[in-house]
Amino acid sequence: MWAHAGHAPDACSKQGDGLDFPLLSSRRCLGCFTSTGSAGKIGETPSSQNSRVSPCRWPAELAHRLDFRQGPAAGGAHKPEVRVSHWNLFESTYEAVRSSRYQVAVLPLGATEPHNLHLPYGTDTIEGDVLGREACAQAARRGAEVLLLPTVPYGTETNLSRFPFAMNLQPSTLLLVIRDLVASIRAAGVRKIVLLNMHGGNELKSVLRELFHTADAHLFLCNWWEVIADEYAHIFEQPEDHAGEMETSIIMARRPELVARRADGSLACADGQTRPCRFEAVRRGWVRISRPWHLLTQSTGSGDPRAATAEKGERVLALLTSRLADFLVELSGSPLDADFPMTTTE
């Protein structure tokens, strides 16, 4: 609190009567707001006609910064254009949210883990941000009442624990995180929720079963790599597992500054070669294990990224975005009747 001219701070009547402190009172105000209800610009001396208070000695720069009523345009400054995506919770205001009628919430689930030697630790989270934004934007333009939530940047990394800063949430912990976020979404009135899974280490089918009877919501799990599995071979040359051709192409297309390169411009990567399991049943896929990643690969990569291009990234993102947006539009428009999500009976 700053003192008004000629007054000590503890003697100034403008400090409030204690009933509303430290909030501004409707009967009297703090700083430059007047006791009669009329408010001059912060930093100015109130006129004698409408106020009995002394001038304020707030610094001019601080007064400008605190001029909430005038905003960025105060003092003749240029007012920037406001571009807020109503479908993006991270950018939305409370006013925008409470005036919306969302039908679908999209929760991307990423990870923080090493991706070969050339991609950032945040690759899965970046991909969740990109795919979530582009699909929800397209769906919203087509009339879907959809809300994109901020990407969860951590996932299950138990089998990468030998690599530094593979930030792990145990599967049981991840379940609790998702459970609590789903409860928050449901409390806001949205009952159709898409879990957009960007990380292969997140085994989430059990989450659907765990929350089936308790969440009072309909959960839909989308593993992003499965969305375009039928078209993968038409775009890419090498199999994809982790930090390979597809992921590298996507980061090249959207965040090329984060792709490490050598002086000659080539990718600063390992070739992504991995060691096979000794058991044929595991190699064929009808017996499963949690792969010990430090024995599988020394670079953390699995899959050769060297054929990646930004053009391939654009192609796969266009396909991913289109298919996911189609689903979001359909889901948004589908009524929550007694047969949902099954087809209606005749």
Write the pLDDT tens digit of every residue in 285-314.
999 999 999 999 999 999 999 999 999 999
pLDDT of residue 41: 42
pTM: predicted TM-score of the whole model, two decimal places: 0.77
* Residues 98, 71 share a domain: no
User: How many CB atoms sit inside 10 A of residue 118's CB?
Assistant: 23
For the chain, give the mean pLDDT. Answer: 85
Same domain, 47 and 104: no
Q: Number of structural domains, the chain? A: 2
**How high is the pLDDT of residue 214?**
86
Q: Residue 244: which domain range?
A: 94-333
**211 shares its domain with 284:** yes
Q: Does 34 map to a domain?
A: yes
Q: Which residues of the chain fall below pLDDT 70?
A: 1-82, 84, 346
Within this chain, do residues 220 and 127 fall inside the same structural domain, yes or no?
A: yes
